[in-house]
Structure 1
Amino acid sequence: MTHQAIDREAFNPSTALAVQTVTRVRHLTDRLFSFAISRPPSFRFRSGEFVMVGLPGEGKPLLRAYSIASPAYADELEFLSIKLEDGPLTSRLQHIRSGDPVYLGRKPTGTLVTDALLPGRRLFLLSTGTGIAPFMSLVRDPDVYAHFAEIVLVHSVREVADLAWRDVLEGQLAGDPLVQDEALLQFHYLPTVTREPFRTQGRIARLVESGILFERVSGPRRFDPEGDRVMLCGSMAMIRDHAADLEARGFVEGSNSRPGQFVIERAFVG
C-alpha cells in the first residue's frame, strides 16, 4: 500500500511534520472508524484542539485536520474519521493497520478550548457525527470539572451504531484515572438518533425546544447566557443554526484572544 512508503528519516525537529506509528484501528461501521497513533514525548495540546494528520500524496503530503479525542495525559493520540471511498485522504486512511506510519503535524491549535470561554456554571457540548471527537478529550480533562459545575455532552447521529464511545460515556467515564469521581456527579451524556428507534430521538434543536436537553441538569430549562457556556462541533448546518440561535438568545461567540459564551471551530466551517 502506498502509505507504507513514508520515509521515517526524512524529517527533523525543525519540520512541520513528524512520522508516527498507528497503534490501533477500530471500525465502528462501514462509514466510521477510529484510529490511534503513537505520541511524541514533546507533543503538547489543550483539550479540544485539532492537528494535521495524513499520508504521502502526489509530490507532497496529503493532510487533513483531525480533532484529538484522547485525554491530554494519554500516551497515544486517538482520532475519529468518516470513510469516503472518493475522499482524497480517507479513501486510503481507512485501510491503515497497526504498525503503519502516518504523518502528524507538530502544532495543534483550535478554538474548542476552555480558554475561549468565559467562566460559567453549565457547559453544553453539542455534537453531530465525528464532531464528538474534541469533546471526548474535554470530558476527560480535570480542569473542565474544576471550571464548570455541570457538563452535558450531546451526540446526535443517524443510526445507533454511529454513537462512538457510547459504552464509555454511558458509564460516566468509570475507570478514568483523573475524572471518574467528578464525572459521577457532574457529567451528563445525552445521545440522540435521527433515523432509527432509540430512547432519545430527533435532532439537537428538538431537544433544546422540548426542554429534554435540560432535564438532567439544575438551573433553567433553556440556554442562559449568564451561566451557560456552549461548544458546537459537527455538521456545518448544525453549527450555523445553533450559533444563530445562541446569538439570538444573547450569547457572544468567543475566541482564544477574546473569550465569550459559546465557541465553534472555524477552521472546519470556514
Structure 2
Amino acid sequence: MTPDEISELRTKQYNATVVSLKLANPDLMIVRVRPDAGVPPHRAGQYSTLGMGHWEPRAPGCQDEIPKPGEERKLIRRAYSIGSSILDEQGDLPDRVGQDWLEFYIVLVRKADHPPALTPRLFHLKEGDRGFLGEKIAGHFTLEPVQPTDNVVFLSTGTGEAPHNYMLWELLSKNHQGKILAACCVRYQQDLGYLAIQEELTHRYSHYTYLGLTTRETTNQGQKVYIQDLITSGQLEDRLGDTLDPARTHVYLCGNPKMIGAAEIDKATGGVIYPQPPGVIEILTQRGFHADQPSLKLKGNIHIEEYW
C-alpha cells in the first residue's frame, strides 16, 4: 500500500487525535484521545470503542500476524472502558465540564492464541497521531443504583481498574458519605499504573481504602493473596472498616473472568453452575448478595463488567 493510499484511509476512517500518552511500564499505557466531534454525554463506568487500521505499523516484540486477504484496508476495533486519572495535574479532583478527551488504560498483548492485532498498533502511537474512536458511549456498569450512604467496593484485575477509577472520581466529587474500597490484583507492582495517585487519595480521604495486590513479586513467594482471598479471610472487611452487608453495599467487578466467577445455567436442570475454584460472585452470593441479571432486567448489588 502506498503512502498516499494510507493517508487517504486515515483521512476517511479516523476521527480522533491522541492528546496524551504515558507508559506506566513498557506494556501498560494511559492514553487520552480527543474526538473530532466532541465527547458524547456519558456516565462513569461506561465504555467506547478504539480502532486502528490494519495498515498501521505495530510495536516491536509482538507475535507475528498473518493478514487475511482484504483486511489491509479495514479497521480493527475493540471496546474499552473509559478510565480516569482521578486527580488532575495540579492534584485536584477535576471538573469534567468541557473536558474534550477520554482516557483509556490499555495493556499490550504481545502474544495470544490468535495473533494480537489492535494493541500492538495502539502501542506504536505517539501524541498527535490519529485513530478511530466510537461515536457512541454505552454500558450499564454505572453508579446508578448506589445511594449516598452505601458502601462501595471495587474489585478488579489489571486494567479492569479503569472504569472503577472513573466511578471513584464521581463518588469523591459528590462527597459520597459511605465507605469506599478499591482492590486491584496484578502480577507485578509496576502493573499498578495508578498506584501513586491511589496512595495520595487514601491519605486525603479517610473513608477511602486502596489495596494493590501482586502475585509474582519475590515478596509474594508462599503468600499470594487474590481478590477472593481478601473476602474469605475477612481482610476486606477489616480494611473497609465495616461488614459486607448486602443491604447497604454495592460491589463492582471488572477483569479476569476467573476472579469474577459468573454462573451459568444448566440447560437440563435449570440449576446454577459456578466455575471452580470459586469466584467473587459465588462467595458473595453465599453471603446474601445478588448479581445483576441484565437479560431479566434485574438489578442486584453485584455489578459486573467482563472485558475478556
Shift, 1:107, TM fit: 1.3
Residue 117 of structure 1 contacts residue 254 of structure 1 at CA under 8 Å; is this kept in 2? no
Choose 58-67 or 227-236, whichever is displaced more.
58-67
Map of 1:43 onto structure 2: 40
Map of 1:79 onto structure 2: 104
- TM-score norm. by structure 2 comes to 0.72
| Cα distance, 1:225–1:142 mapped onto 2, change above 3 Å | closer
Shift, 1:6, TM fit: 6.7
Shift, 1:102, TM fit: 1.0
- Secondary structure (helix, strand or coil) at the match of 1:45 reads coil
Map of 1:161 onto structure 2: 190
1:96-125 deviation digits (Å, cap 9, x = unpaired): 100111111111112321125577621000
Structure 2 CA distance for aligned equivalents of residues 6 and 152 of structure 1: 48
Residue 19 of structure 2 contacts residue 33 of structure 2 at CA under 8 Å; is this kept in 1? yes
| Cα distance, 1:6–1:103 mapped onto 2, change above 3 Å | farther
- Secondary structure (helix, strand or coil) at the match of 2:116 reads coil
| Cα distance, 1:263–1:95 mapped onto 2, change above 3 Å | same
RMSD: 2.8
Map of 1:31 onto structure 2: 27
Map of 1:214 onto structure 2: 237
Structure 1 CA distance for aligned equivalents of residues 186 and 180 of structure 2: 20
Equivalences for residues 17-166 of structure 1 within 5 A:
19-39=15-35, 40-57=37-54, 58=71, 59-70=73-84, 73=96, 74-85=99-110, 86-116=115-145, 121-142=150-171, 145-146=174-175, 149-166=178-195
Residue 194 of structure 1 contacts residue 202 of structure 1 at CA under 8 Å; is this kept in 2? yes
Choose 67-76 or 93-102, whichever is displaced more.
67-76
- Secondary structure (helix, strand or coil) at the match of 1:43 reads coil
Identity value in percent: 29
Which letter maps to 2:78? R
Q: What is the number of residues matched between the two proteins?
A: 250
Choose 105-114 or 207-216, whichever is displaced more.
207-216
Query: Quick check: which has more Rg, 1 or 2?
Result: 2
Choose 227-236 or 117-126, whichever is displaced more.
117-126
Structure 2 CA distance for aligned equivalents of residues 128 and 136 of structure 1: 13
- TM-score norm. by structure 1 comes to 0.82
- Unpaired runs of 5+ in structure 1? 12-17, 175-182
- Unpaired runs of 5+ in structure 2? 55-70, 87-94, 262-278
